[in-house]
Chains A and B, each alone.
Chain A
């Protein structure tokens, strides 16, 4: 398996634009996590899914953020409208069961100017 795949690796966008980040989890994994990493706040859990269903989205900062998982092999994190303070590295991770470790993608570095 190729691991967790995120796209794009880098995204630069203007304030106010819509941004969509994509994630393909490892096949067979039934948990998917979205994290945001910044120097100031470290690694923050935004939302996670179990069997494509959102379980906890309390980490989603504002209504501008939304996440979907239409099927077991694909998830999106959307920011609309984007703001400069959204600039961060966004990671997607997946795990097979609650008891096992999560595997991370390479991340998407988002810059909002």
Chain B
């Protein structure tokens, strides 16, 4: 079975500082990895994805994420945080291995608060 862990329920960072939101995953086959953001009373919005290729992927709003196969991690990063980045962030995985169900599984979410 596939799973995603976001070890931090809450991350606080000062505006202008770099931010990291952590994600680790477990799959039996090749992972396809995603980050989503949710603003209050809204649906989830896609930020970026890793399918194959370069381990550092860039996405919307200046966010990027680094795929680390040996550590089974896919941490979300941004060099300089904005107050408007404050939201709930979800990591997700799809196991693309043979015989897997291939559903999209989400982590528990991390609330990011950027302090002015």
Contacts and interface: CB of A to CB of B under 8 A. Distances in A.
A33 B103 contact: yes
B43 A45 contact: no
Interface string B68-91: 000000000000000000000010
A101 B46 contact: yes
Interface of A: 4, 33, 35, 42-43, 45, 48, 55-56, 91, 93, 95, 98-107
Contacts of A104: 36, 43-45
A48 B49 contact: no
Interface in B18-56: 32, 34, 36, 42-46, 49, 51
B115 interface: no
Contact of B51 (A33, A93, A99): A99
B14 interface: no
Interface string B85-108: 000001000101000011111111
Contacts of A101: 34, 46, 49
